[in-house]
Structure 1
């Protein structure tokens, strides 16, 4: 069974780019058991289970209770942190959580589904330093992290990763040490291969350490999928840090990635999302023989991914992305040719036709619209999103996507209209904070728009002050962005009154680290 790869950096950067109008950018937070009150997430958590594949698989209590059971039964905790609207979360549900093998694997764990909109979810997210949806953690009974995953694998790859963690009863740290000391076993390589490197704490896992580890793992790997997976991870880290390799070594790594069908499948996330970044990083000019060969190999690999029997609807859709990125690298600031635009429109139509389940549709429709935007096919993207808006259970996500599309299409008033609609329709504790923030950031760009921005700012504080974790986790990320956006307005009487009205609520409504963050937020705005 070949290894697959979760190249978080490449995947998440594309996600952040396509929904920048929504996702705006962890410190340690207190455990829920130390917050002066009971964790109330159990009721909401039980409601969430009903919308999950195989709801009977998930633990029905809260996070604290899960760790108590884990300690009693000598089990690890499998914790999933995500959101109902999040595309990769839904792909994870379709590709893994809905499979019978997932239920079998979870008998070895206390499996917890923690929706980001449940009570205290953001406090737990901050405690475990989880900032992006989805994040999957395997933790021991004492809450020590053993493994972290933030993107989608096949069920076979997921099986291999989970079995490796169970077999070693150890952590990523232990596996890394084994590799660096040249005593790694296959299970150690699997743990390293599937880990989400860009989500790990920087203090413990600085870039230099990650790069050295990937190089050693690449040299230690024996099978073509292993070579490929560590080669693509290594290059991803080097690209992120703008660090070069010798051309001889670079050719070795590229050859390992494109060796055969198994190696290509193992590095599919890298192939789908990193073409443009890698082309720019190499510095090779479009006419160079090296570049022409790389582009040819890369596009052949993307075509193989599209036709792979295990390819998800999302993977088939995104297999067109490398051609877009190569063209833009070769022809900056030029319109794309009609044949490439047509190819993307066909890929988007096929994704729409093939996405039958609720999870698949949440996974691919906004992505298809994003790709249509990237090639200037705004009418097709608008049509797709509006059609989905009529049948989805998360209308705010598609209203937000329409806002992003109209903004890119040069229609700012339409963008504001859809952003306002998303803010008003959004459901969920933390999701409301996120979409209110998005609307505020869009409108705060116009400093003459103070009255309307003040209205949104008041809505933001009304929502955060309803939550005891209103300034924790992802909510705190948004509060920082709001603070930055309101800086030009903070001297105005209207905004001074808002800050004066809400600042005292920090002490009354927030708890633990969230209370401290809240006070810090208003102190900066009132200075």
Structure 2
């Protein structure tokens, strides 16, 4: 369930190695810190902790005339763990890796967040293929099944043109090969970060590409269309009509065609239905039934990973909830669907033996149980898996979210507190700390002492980190500042804000002006 969990967009190395000395000194090439774990043992990964490591990788690629594959991920991230369980451990991936230089940027390595800014990556996981001379060729989709990722990787390794060039020529009506159309369709638009097009313009662009795609490339055109529909809210992108709805229903009735579009169908069914039928009614009901039938087939397709099959079931539950308010805690679902949810989750929990797969699937399963209103079962599953997870703080955060949705404030704050306390790695610490502070402000705004202590702790940790004011870490600290500003909306906590401002001011003063670090720091706690 790559796209969905990537939206959690929440990387880990032991906290004890997070407080590096010489934080603001120029970066030097360094070995990965203790606690770093490569994404797989099947190939040689170069761990990148700074610019020097990246330059070394590009120099190797240029000397050996090999492309460079950069994988940006995190230890705790469920979709990252899914890649480790289904892609990076494949023998054909290992064979293909002989033809490229593999680089792993773990988000908790010392200079990782600065590298994130350099490559314009945010969400975990992101995979980028570069040419031997350092030009970006394409971003690989993490949400499709492993064989398709291998196909997209092979297209990039075959010496094709950068996707940016291909897109420009396709938009200009110039000749584009079948493989290049597929590269556009399977480009990781979800991790584009405005490299090709600003996010608000993406639905319309995908719709234009779908219309321009040659008739001979029907599967490619359908994928572009579905991707556009999934993002076509508020009048953006595709304008639905009866012919378009019939076209999608026809695709859903064809098992082969549906399997070809598996990742969009399992991850975005409800969004596509809303794009095709914005209002509740007969048209929406027909589409829900067509998608549910297709999802049931995919749910039972043993050629798919367990994570994808679980995502198909999640898609069915989301379709069943489509006309309910999004924050519905106890949805009314068909008893047969509820029983399937219980059975599939129990089966997965019993059968999974791989730690990476468990981190990916069990977190999705707990989400599924909650969406089905099975909160007691969701909590029990997460608690039973705390000792089995290499990143239990992720599961603790889910327990906090469960409790918050049910109105159990004390339990929610306790789990968020435990999650922050157990979190590991500099970027992860700031992200989990930001989440804990947000929970405190939302659910216990009167607890000024804990709110100030948590904010102060985060400033202290940021002061001792390299790259705390870059990329994901910077956004975590900015969220802290935004929450505190809202909390102090009428000036009732101005003394707390003043003390925090005094604490962060000398931290900002030590930062260089170039790269934006100082300005980000100075904007965190506003007077």
* TM-score interval (norm. to shorter): 0.7 to 0.9
Residue 274 (1) aligns with residue 268 (2): yes
Residues 475-486 of structure 1 aligned to structure 2 (within 5 Å):
475-486=473-484
Task: Please give the secondary structure, in 2, of the residue aligned with 1:146.
Answer: strand
Residues 103-502 of structure 1 aligned to structure 2 (within 5 Å):
103-180=94-171, 181=173, 183-202=175-194, 204-206=196-198, 207-208=200-201, 211-217=204-210, 219-220=213-214, 222-239=216-233, 242-251=236-245, 253-255=247-249, 257-258=251-252, 260-283=254-277, 286-288=280-282, 290-332=283-325, 335-337=331-333, 338-445=335-442, 446-487=444-485, 488-489=487-488, 491-502=493-504
Task: Please give the secondary structure, in 2, of the residue aligned with 1:84.
Answer: coil
> Which among 17, 28, 41 is matched to residue 54 of structure 1?
41
Distance 1:502 1:177, change over 3 A: closer
Task: Please give the secondary structure, in 1, of the residue aligned with 2:182.
Answer: helix
Moved more, 232-241 or 474-483: 232-241
Distance 1:513 1:415, change over 3 A: same
TM superposition shift of 1:37? 2.0
Whole-angstrom CA distance in 1 between matches of 2:522 and 2:358: 40
Whole-angstrom CA distance in 2 between matches of 1:242 and 1:209: 9
Correspondence for 2:27: 38
User: Does the 8 Å CA contact 1:82/1:115 hold for their aligned counterparts?
Assistant: yes
Whole-angstrom CA distance in 2 between matches of 1:216 and 1:103: 33
Distance 1:311 1:352, change over 3 A: same
Correspondence for 2:18: none
TM superposition shift of 1:188? 0.2
Cα-to-partner distance string for 1:121-141 (whole Å, 9 max, x where unaligned): 001111111110000011234
Whole-angstrom CA distance in 2 between matches of 1:285 and 1:245: 13
User: Does the 8 Å CA contact 1:95/1:153 hold for their aligned counterparts?
Assistant: no
Whole-angstrom CA distance in 2 between matches of 1:157 and 1:328: 30
Instruction: Report which of the two has the higher share of helix.
Output: 1
TM superposition shift of 1:317? 1.0
Distance 1:360 1:399, change over 3 A: same
- Structure 1 unmatched runs, 5+: 1-9, 24-34
Task: Please give the secondary structure, in 2, of the residue aligned with 1:504.
Answer: helix
User: Does the 8 Å CA contact 1:224/1:256 hold for their aligned counterparts?
Assistant: no
Whole-angstrom CA distance in 2 between matches of 1:285 and 1:373: 25
Cα-to-partner distance string for 1:52-98 (whole Å, 9 max, x where unaligned): 32254313562221112122223221000000110100111111100
Distance 1:280 1:124, change over 3 A: same
- Structure 2 unmatched runs, 5+: 12-23
Q: RMSD across aligned C-alpha pairs, in angstroms?
A: 2.7
Distance 1:182 1:240, change over 3 A: farther
Whole-angstrom CA distance in 1 between matches of 2:513 and 2:348: 44
User: Does the 8 Å CA contact 2:74/2:108 hold for their aligned counterparts?
Assistant: yes
Whole-angstrom CA distance in 2 between matches of 1:198 and 1:360: 22
Cα-to-partner distance string for 1:204-238 (whole Å, 9 max, x where unaligned): 41444663454434542525532432221232242
Distance 1:145 1:153, change over 3 A: same
Whole-angstrom CA distance in 2 between matches of 1:420 and 1:36: 33
How many residue pairs align between the two structures? Answer: 499
